[in-house]
Amino acid sequence: MSTQNLIYLFVGISFALYIGIAIWTRAGSTKEFYVAGGGVHPIVNGMATAADWMSAASFISMAGLIAFMGYDGSVYLMGWTGGYVVLALLLAPYLRKFGQFTVPDFIGTRYYSKVARTVAVICLIFISFTYIAGQMRGVGIVFSRFLDVDVNMGVIIGMCIVFVYAVLGGMKGITYTQVAQYCVLIFAYMVPAFFISMLVTGNPIPQLGLGSTVNDGSGMYVLQKLDESLQMMGFGPYTDGSKSMIDVFCITAALMIGTAGLPHVIVRFFTVPKASDARRSAGWALIFIALLYTTAPAVAAFARLNFNSTVNEQSYAEAPGWFKNWEKNNLIAWTDKNGDGVMQVAKGDAFKGAPEFAEGTGPNGERLVSNEVLTDNANEVYVDKDIMVLANPEIANLPGWVIALVAAGGLAAALSTAAGLLLVISTAVSHDLLKSTFKPSISEKGELLAARVAATCAIVVAGILGIYPPGWVAQVVAFAFGLAAASLFPAIFMGIFSKTMNKEGAIAGMVTGLVFTFVYIAYFKLVNPDANVAENWLLGISPEGIGVIGMVLNFIVALVVMKMTAPAPAEIGRLVESIRVPRGAGEARAH
């Protein structure tokens, strides 16, 4: 069977599985729609949480990012995995014990304020749509490359699939669909890693292969070989970092704290029966996530090593098939600066921005690029970092079924997170705004209908963002984590661990953290991107790490405002204590 037919088969079977699960687990009540009835087993929920978290960014982008950033890319590994430790220890069990459906529900009830709830909803929607636009575009890219459809048609197909199991099944359907998606994506990620590690090092375990010698007779270790090849092309060593210590610390901390404050991740811990299950569920999620995250550095190193050897100094006329396949999708490009017909990979950009392809071909048969070619460096090749994991099996000449598996895995990763984000958005609208704020008398049937309508509208908006992505979508990936760290996390943390924090302090803190972080990132990413250099950053902290400063400002403003305003009601203190003190502890002290 051809590779293309295998791709159709694998993707078709996986989609049939997802839709079948959605129909089987159709939500019949608001509790099932919002939190899957609150009866999900911790291991099952841990697997669903892992799928919810490991989006297209983790599956498709992270290893590609590390492949080109090297040591500096380790901040993403440390931040994203470390955030689950914070979540498991500080938030998950207490939020589950509180017994609400959503993050805005917790904030609105804990701070006895509809304004606080509304501010939390605004943060949640902004964070979620920032994420989901990238997920839907990722779905379109995978469809475009592997199923031979237009990128926009790929987004529309993805919208239809998500519509079925998100709108029909709600959290109940999404939970069990995400379990299936986790199995697909982790298998799709690990199998090529085993193959490539064996081919490059002779060791089938990628985590060990990264520390092994290369199978080329040189006796050099993988990272030594990679350092040597990059330095020969004019790059810095792969194992050296260029970021300052404070920036590394702040980016890592922002990613950790942002992870612990992401609403679509937190809501998963409302689906288990009790608080202790929430902690166990977070532990299982960390184990399931670690399978991919400990493999990613090896995948990144092998991908960059193979890319260097198959592209640099190769004649374009004899370029491997994978290069021209991705070139058709505008995700890789070459321009012959010196007229020798040979591809040169070197430090620096080949084009001013991403290539914009024109009609026709050049003298070597290459796709013509209409935007400005940069002639101040020797680099002739543009490569989108997001293709590295998807193209890795093709670069390594792996069997067609492995390529098909990766296509199914990439779609599973993007669709699982998209579904989780859509549910968070629909719940925020139907439960937190409609039921809890503007129309408390609505019936459960009416609320469930509103949730499905909201999810449908959210899917349409997400699809439009995927088809017509704003120019800044790729630039503001840091928005979601920075804003979650600077706005929601402090409010949740103080809501659990402070009996005295009042509504005025929490609202002022959230608004301060939100505005400061948004303005800082928007200035360097949108308004004046030419100024986005270390010399201009506050305390040397990049936009990716500024959420930490936003978080600190949130805490300071909240505490100052609290001191200047009326204290929280006594019943709020008792509510907080009921969350934190184990059942039976009061009776034990009495005796």
Highest mean pLDDT among 63-67, 456-460, 543-547: 543-547
Residue 414 near residue 349 (C-beta atoms within 8 A): no
- Please indicate, yes or no, whether residues 353 and 286 belong to a single structural domain of this protein: no
Question: Does residue 26 lie in a domain region?
Answer: yes
- What DSSP letter does each residue of 35-82 carry, written as one string? HGGG---HHHHHHHHHHHHS-HIIIIIHHHHHHHHGGGGHHHHHHHHH
Nearest CA to 489 out of 87, 82, 51 is that of 87
C-beta separation of 316 from 367 below 8 A: no
| pLDDT score of 16 more than 70 | yes
Residue 85: the pLDDT is 76
**pLDDT band, very low/low/confident/very high, at 549 (cuts 50, 70, 90):** very high
Whether residue 417 sits in one domain with residue 368? no
Q: Is 218 helix (H, G, I), strand (E, B) or coil?
A: coil
Please check whether residues 376 and 410 belong to one and the same domain.
no
Examine the pLDDT at 32 and tell me if it is beyond 70: no
Q: What is residue 503's predicted lDDT score, i.e. its pLDDT?
A: 93
Q: Which is more confident, 500 or 476?
A: 500
**Does the residue 44 lie in any domain?**
yes
> Which single residue is written with the structure tokens 């911790």?
42
Is 379 inside a domain boundary? yes
Shared domain for 517 and 573, answered yes or no, is: yes
Question: Nearest CA to 95 among 289, 218, 219, 263?
Answer: 263
pLDDT class for 562, splitting at 50, 70, 90?
A: very high
DSSP state, residue 545: G
Is 50 exceeded by the pLDDT of residue 471? Answer: no
Q: Are residues 200 and 344 in the same domain?
A: no
Say if residue 472 is in the same domain as residue 434.
Answer: yes
Residues 107-116 have a mean pLDDT of 89
Q: Do 158 and 281 lie in a common domain?
A: yes
**CATH number assigned to the domain comprising residue 159:** 1.20.1730.10
CA dist., res. 397 & res. 400, Å (int): 9
**SS3 label, residue 213:** strand
Query: What per-residue confidence (pLDDT) applies to 197?
Result: 92
Which amino acid is present at 335? T
Which of the two residues, 428 and 307, has the higher pLDDT score?
A: 307
Domain boundary among 354, 383, 412: 383
pLDDT value at residue 22: 66
Q: 585 falls in which pLDDT band (50, 70, 90)?
A: very low
Specify if 131 maps to a domain: yes
Do the beta carbons of residue 327 and residue 333 sit within 8 Å?
Answer: yes
Q: Are residues 139 and 229 in the same domain?
A: yes
pLDDT, average across residues 411-424: 73
Q: Is the pLDDT of residue 557 over 90?
A: yes
Domain boundary among 319, 348, 383: 383
Is residue 93 situated within a structural domain? yes
Residues 79 and 248 sit within 8 Å (Cβ to Cβ): no
Considering only CA atoms, which of 371, 413, 352, 298 is closest in space to residue 60? 413
Q: What is the pLDDT of residue 168?
A: 60
More confident residue, 456 or 269: 456
**Which of 233-247, 336-350, 360-374, 539-553 is predicted most confidently?**
539-553
Q: Which pLDDT belongs to residue 138?
A: 73
Cβ of 149: how many Cβ atoms within 10 Å?
15
Task: Please indicate whether residue 447 or residue 488 has the higher confidence score (pLDDT).
Answer: 488
pLDDT above 70 (res 475): no
User: Is a pLDDT exceeding 50 seen at residue 589?
Assistant: no
What pLDDT score does 165 carry? 61
Asked whether residue 191 is assigned to any structural domain, the reply reads: yes
Residue 316 lies in a domain: no
Domain that holds residue 47: 3-303+399-580
CB 252 within 8 A of CB 79: yes
Residue 358 and residue 256 in one domain: no
Integer Cα distance of 156 and 466 in angstroms: 9
**274-326 per-position pLDDT tens digit:** 767 777 887 888 888 888 888 999 999 998 988 888 888 888 888 888 888 88
Do 69 and 135 lie in a common domain?
A: yes
- Most confident region among 130-144, 366-380, 431-445, 505-519 by mean pLDDT: 505-519
Q: Which two tokens stand for residue 5?
A: 């037919």
Could you tell me if 342 and 262 lie in one domain?
no
Whether residue 533 has pLDDT greater than 50 = yes
Are 374 and 510 members of one domain? Answer: no
Residue 45 lies in a domain: yes
> Phi then psi for 500, rounded to 5 degrees?
-100, -15
User: Out of 125-139, 226-240, 341-355, 377-391, which region has the weakest mean confidence (pLDDT)?
Assistant: 125-139
Residue 473 has pLDDT above 50, yes or no: no
Quote the mean pLDDT of the chain: 80
Mean pLDDT of 179-198: 87
What SS3 state is found at 381?
Answer: strand
pLDDT at 581: 66
470-153-7 Cα angle (round to 5): 120
Average pLDDT over residues 539-554: 92
* Mean of pLDDT values over 139-156: 75
Number of domains comprising the chain: 2
